[in-house]
């Protein structure tokens, strides 16, 4: 299912670079990046939670930096590298941050996990050896309605250890 154009705005063909691949996508430039990723590219790692930039469920990396794709217009991603959860690894070969969350079974419903994993990934890319407090600070604005925060923090700490050990997808 393609993303419907915003009423009153014409769809353009936009070239996006996502998970290392170029995609030409017809979309109104003001459409939220999240909708294009999910509806046009069928990348369902990023989730729709609040749609207001407040919960973190939709987090992706743009040029390696965590970004809330529900409030970023797709035009802002043109010419930049977008990475989604799918770009960190695969089911058969998870990346170290994904593996850490699997190892720690850090989920109940799992809806928040995309945002947690992508936020931890972004931090570890710029700071491979964060303190527990730095991890807490980074995750502070990601919401988990299930209250799985303790396990998520353990997973974040394990992700740092796995990366330090050189685990790669
Ligand atoms: S869905 Fe984007 S921050 Fe909540
Ligand atoms: S595990 Fe359910 S919202 Fe976090």
Q: Which ligand is nearest to the CA of 46?
A: 1
Pairing of strands 81-83, 12-18: parallel
Cα 144 to Cα 152: distance, rounded to the nearest angstrom: 10
Per-residue pLDDT of the chain (169 residues; tens, 9 = 90+): 455 544 446 789 999 999 999 999 999 989 999 999 999 999 999 999 999 999 999 999 999 999 999 999 999 999 999 999 999 999 999 999 999 999 999 999 999 999 999 999 999 999 999 999 999 999 999 999 999 999 999 999 999 999 988 876 6
d(CA 132, ligand 2 centre) in Å: 20
Q: What is the pTM assigned to this prediction?
A: 0.93
**Which ligand 2 atom lies nearest to the CA of residue 113?**
4
Helix (H, G, I), strand (E, B) or coil at 137: helix
Contact yes or no for 107/77 (Cβ under 8 A) = no
Q: Is 66 in the pocket of ligand 1 (CB under 6 A)?
A: no
Geometric angle at alpha carbon 69, from 64 and 74, rounded to 5°? 95
């Amino acid at each position: 299912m393609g993303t419907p154009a915003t009423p009153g705005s014409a769809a353009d063909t936009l070239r996006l670079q996502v998970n290392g691949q170029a995609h030409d996508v017809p979309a109104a430039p003001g459409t939220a990046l999240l909708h294009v990723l999910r509806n046009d590219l069928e990348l369902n790692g990023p989730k729709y939670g609040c749609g207001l930039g407040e919960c973190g469920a939709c987090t992706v990396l743009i040029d390696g930096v965590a970004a809330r794709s529900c409030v970023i217009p797709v035009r802002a991603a043109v010419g930049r590298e977008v990475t989604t959860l799918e770009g960190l690894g695969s089911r058969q070969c998870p990346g170290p941050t994904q593996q850490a969350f699997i190892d720690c079974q850090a989920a109940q419903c799992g809806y928040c996990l995309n945002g947690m994993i992508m936020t931890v990934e972004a931090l570890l890319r710029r700071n491979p050896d964060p303190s527990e407090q730095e991890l807490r600070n980074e995750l502070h604005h990601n919401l988990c309605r299930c209250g799985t925060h303790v396990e998520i923090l353990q997973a974040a700490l394990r992700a740092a250890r796995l990366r330090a050990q050189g685990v790669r997808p």
